[in-house]
C-alpha cells in the first residue's frame, strides 16, 4: 500500500513575514500523520521554514538542486547543503526548470543521481505540453522522460524516486486534468516503469497541475494517483490543508 503524499511547491513566492503566516496556518491545521506532507519554499527560506516545522508532521523540501556537490559553481546549491538544512525532499525537472532554464533529460538525471547520493528523496517531474497532447504525443513524451531517467540511474535507484505527472497545460492555468486523463497517464507511467524492470508497485506517482480543494478528492481516489504536487493552492493554508485532508480521507 503506497502512503499518500502531498507536496507544496511555493515556487518563487513568499517573504519571511508571509511564510510565518502561512506556516502558522498549516501548523494549526496539523495536516500530516496518516499521509506524508511536505512543503518546498525557495532556498533562502529553507532554514526559517525548517525551524518552524521542527517537531511538526510536515517535512521540508527544495525546488531545485545542483548536480554538483561542492566547488566553483557560482549560484548553485548542492544536495549536501539541502540535507544539511534539514531537507528530506527535492523537486527535480519541474517543467518551469526544463522550459525556462534549459534543463535537459541528461541534466535532470544528473541532479537525481546527486540528490539520491546525498540521501534526499527526489520528486521527478514529467509532463507533456498542450501541443504535444493535441498531436496525440503525450505518452511518447512522458514515456521518453521516464525512460531516460531509468536508463541513466538504473532500476534500483529509479525505484527510490517519487514521480510527479504534471501536464504543462495544467500548471498554473486553472485547467486541471480530468481524473480519467490523469489516471490513464499515471497507469501508463507505472506500466513503463514496470516494463523497464523497476519495482513500480511501490513508486508513488503524484498528480500536479491546478490541484484545488475541489478537484483533489476525485483525483486522489484514482488507483494510481498517490497524492499531489500543489503549486498555487499551497500558498493558502486553508486550501492546502483541505487538499491534504482529501488525501487523508482516501487513505483512511
Ligand atoms: C506546480 O508548480 O508544480 C504546480 C502544479 O502548480 P499549480 O498547482 O499552481 O498548477
The chain-wide mean pLDDT, for the chain, equals 97
Q: What is the DSSP letter of 212?
A: -
Contact 78, 46 (CB under 8 A): no
Number of H helices, E strands in the chain: 11, 8
Q: Is the CB of 230 under 6 A from ligand 1?
A: yes
Report the alpha-carbon distance of residue 159 to residue 146 in Å, rounded: 12
For this structure, is 103 an active site residue?
no
Report the alpha-carbon distance of residue 152 to residue 67 in Å, rounded: 14
Q: Is the CB of 229 under 6 A from ligand 1?
A: yes
For this structure, is 166 an active site residue?
yes
Interstrand relation of 205-208 and 59-62 (parallel, antiparallel or unpaired): unpaired
Whole-model pTM over 0.95:
yes
Q: Is the CB of 122 under 6 A from ligand 1?
A: no
For the stretch 86-128, pLDDT in tens is 999 999 999 999 999 999 999 999 999 999 999 999 999 999 9
Q: What is the DSSP letter of 33?
A: S
For the stretch 182-229, pLDDT in tens is 999 999 999 999 999 999 999 999 999 999 999 999 999 999 999 999
* Residue 200: C-alpha distances to residues 21, 32, 145, 174, 188 (Å): 38, 25, 16, 30, 11
Catalytic, out of 94, 103, 128, 242? 94
- What topology does CATH give the domain 5-251? TIM Barrel (3.20.20)
* Residue 207: C-alpha distances to residues 34, 45, 75, 190, 214 (Å): 19, 25, 30, 13, 14
Amino acid at each position: 500500500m503506497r502512503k499518500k503524499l502531498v507536496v507544496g511547491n511555493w515556487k518563487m513566492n513568499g517573504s519571511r513575514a508571509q511564510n510565518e503566516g502561512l506556516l502558522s496556518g498549516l501548523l494549526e491545521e496539523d495536516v500530516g500523520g496518516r499521509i506524508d506532507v511536505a512543503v518546498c519554499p525557495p532556498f533562502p527560506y529553507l532554514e526559517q521554514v525548517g525551524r518552524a516545522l521542527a517537531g511538526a508532521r510536515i517535512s521540508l523540501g527544495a525546488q531545485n538542486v545542483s548536480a554538483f556537490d561542492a566547488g566553483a559553481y557560482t549560484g548553485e546549491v548542492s544536495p549536501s547543503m539541502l540535507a544539511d538544512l534539514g531537507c528530506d525532499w527535492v523537486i527535480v525537472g519541474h517543467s518551469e526548470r526544463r522550459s525556462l532554464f534549459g534543463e535537459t533529460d541528461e541534466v535532470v538525471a544528473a541532479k537525481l543521481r546527486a540528490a539520491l547520493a546525498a540521501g534526499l528523496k527526489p520528486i521527478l517531474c514529467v509532463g507533456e505540453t498542450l501541443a504535444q497532447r493535441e498531436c496525440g504525443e503525450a505518452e511518447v513524451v512522458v514515456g521518453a522522460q521516464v525512460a531516460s531517467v531509468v536508463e541513466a540511474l538504473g532500476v534500483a535507484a529509479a525505484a527510490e524516486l517519487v514521480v510527479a505527472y504534471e501536464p504543462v497545460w495544467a500548471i498554473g492555468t486553472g485547467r486541471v486534468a480530468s481524473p480519467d486523463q490523469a489516471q490513464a497517464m499515471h497507469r501508463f507511467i507505472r506500466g513503463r516503469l514496470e516494463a523497464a524492470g523497476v519495482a513500480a508497485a511501490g513508486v508513488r506517482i503524484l498528480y500536479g497541475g491546478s490541484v484545488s480543494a475541489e478537484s483533489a478528492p476525485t483525483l486522489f481516489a484514482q488507483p494510481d494517483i498517490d497524492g499531489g504536487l500543489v503549486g498555487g493552492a499551497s500558498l493558502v493554508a486553508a486550501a492546502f490543508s483541505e487538499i491534504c485532508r482529501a488525501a487523508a480521507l482516501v487513505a483512511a
